[in-house]
Amino acid sequence: MKTKIILVLVLILGILANCQQKQSMDDPEKLKQVLFTYFDGLKNKDLKKMNEITTNDFMLYEDGKVWNNDSIMNFLNKFPKLTVEYKFDNLKINVDKTSGDITYFNHADFVLNDTNKMNLNWIESATFRKIDGTWKMNFLHSSVRK
């Protein structure tokens, strides 16, 4: 009898733990949408959009430098006739109720002055925080993919 009670308690605790785990997750697609929106902001040189979906302390580590949205935009504005198309693959998303991260490959096709074409590939990772019920990106790390 004592064994049956212990077995029932273990099963109940297992079920409760499983239910709790499901409740503590959020939709990974929300993080993906934030990431894609950020790169749309980059593509369109839309600082307002970039700031809306990043935290106030957002940082990008790339090419041995630390960037924020303002410094990124200042750099992009040096190239008035620049267009870019980003493509993402191999996305791996982890998310809970208040934080998340994505690792992925990023491929970009650049056109400068309507004629100069360049292709770049990166291995990137981004972290996210939920602030006042809204997902925001707080960190992005980018390394050139060999």
Residue 9's pLDDT band, with cuts at 50, 70 and 90, is: low
Adjacent-strand bridge partners of 111: 83, 117
- Give the residue, 9 or 120, on which the prediction is more confident: 120
pLDDT at 7 over 60: no
Q: What is the pLDDT of residue 139?
A: 98
**Cα angle value 132/134/140 (rounded, 5°):** 115
pLDDT at 1 over 70: no
pLDDT at 140 over 90: yes
Q: Report residue 19 as tokens.
A: 């239910």
Q: State pTM to two decimals.
A: 0.82
Q: What is the pLDDT of residue 23?
A: 47
> 3-state class of 55 per DSSP?
strand
Picking from 63, 79, 75, 78, the residue whose alpha carbon sits closest to that of residue 112 is: 79
Q: What is the pLDDT of residue 80?
A: 86
| Domains observed in the chain | 27-144 (3.10.450.50)
Q: What is the pLDDT of residue 24?
A: 59
User: How far apart, in whole angstroms, are the C-alpha atoms of residue 101 and residue 137?
Assistant: 9
- Comparing 45-49, 76-80, 92-96, which segment has the lowest mean pLDDT? 76-80
Q: What is the pLDDT of residue 146?
A: 86
Residue 6's pLDDT band, with cuts at 50, 70 and 90, is: low
pLDDT tens digits, one per residue of 17-50? 665 545 458 899 999 999 999 999 999 999 999 9
Buried b (16+ CB within 10 A) or exposed e, 113-137: eeeeeeeeebebebbbbbeeeebbb
